[in-house]
Amino acid sequence: FYDEAEARKYTQNSRVVEIQSQMSERAVELLGLPEDRPCLLLDVGCGSGLSGDYISEEGHYWIGMDISPAMLDVAVEREVEGDLLLADMGHGIPFRPGMFDGCISISAVQWLCNADKKSHSPPKRLYRFFSTLYTALARGSRAVLQVYPENSEQLELITTQAMRAGFTGGMVVDYPNSAKAKKFFLCLFVGTSGTLPKGLGTECASEEPHQAKFTNERTRFRNIKGKSVKKSRDWILEKKERRRRQGKEVRADTKYTGRKRRPRF
């Protein structure tokens, strides 16, 4: 577990925040959510709520669960918009059937492969997690779980237990030819067998410049769709309005809302 100081340090590390944000964006993209309505998502291993921030920005609602009280304390301190639950995913997902429109998890599920206590059986804990997750998801929805497997055996164990629990789907690997950028996303379908999305950077190793171009175009397209640029005045006002609808206390809007501060000397 993280202690309070480690949890705060982790959340304030700009590199960690950037990577977490990128992986959250990719995971939500792989969920293939409908664009015409907000969805309720489950964030497994939500930590201090960095993934949840992205989900909120996209206009969706979320519930996060994590095993670390220190991480959840930081999430509460940061006033994240989702609801939080202290729970061990190896004990199962404690929500009613069909409750969620999707699930994401960033760098958490591989921990179930470790036996931290004598009573822990990794295959049993994985099966318990996947079978209860399957039940908690609505039919036709997806779960996208980004994992850091130690080896191919771990990867196979995770995938096998997911399929045993009723999921279809498989592993989407982004940038498979890059040691640094390679990322594994377990993309699972509930009740239907969809087409597995293609991993980024899978065309060929020399496609890197095209990838950057594609990303820029997608960002512009999102802005055209009417989503405000992050940290802009409109973005801040939208976020405040969402928090008001949730019954949270929010500072009044003024002509100074979102105004850039002068640099300090």
Q: Residue 26 is part of a domain; what is its CATH number?
A: 3.40.50.150
Q: What is the mean pLDDT of the chain?
A: 84
Q: Is residue 226 part of a domain?
A: no
Q: Is residue 157 part of a domain?
A: yes
Q: Is residue 181 part of a domain?
A: yes
Q: Is residue 160 part of a domain?
A: yes
Q: Is residue 133 part of a domain?
A: yes
Q: Which domain holds residue 41?
A: 4-190
| Per-residue pLDDT at 168 exceeds 60 | yes
Q: Is residue 64 part of a domain?
A: yes
pTM of the model: 0.74
* Residue pLDDT, tens place only, 14-59: 787 888 889 999 999 999 999 889 999 999 999 999 999 999 999 9
CA angle centred on 16, ends 187 and 90, rounded to 5°:
45
Secondary structure letter of residue 229 according to DSSP? P
Q: Which residues, listed in sequence order, are joined to residue 35 by a DSSP beta bridge?
A: none
Q: Is residue 240 part of a domain?
A: no
- Give how many domains the chain has, as a whole number: 1
Helices (H), 37-151: 50-57, 69-77, 122-136
| Per-residue pLDDT at 109 exceeds 80 | yes
Q: For residues 98 and 249, which has the higher predicted lDDT (pLDDT)?
A: 98
CA angle centred on 75, ends 71 and 79, rounded to 5°:
165
| Per-residue pLDDT at 63 exceeds 90 | yes
Can you read off the two tokens belonging to residue 78? Answer: 């940061």
Q: Is residue 164 part of a domain?
A: yes
Rounded-to-integer distance, Cα 56 and Cα 62, Å? 8
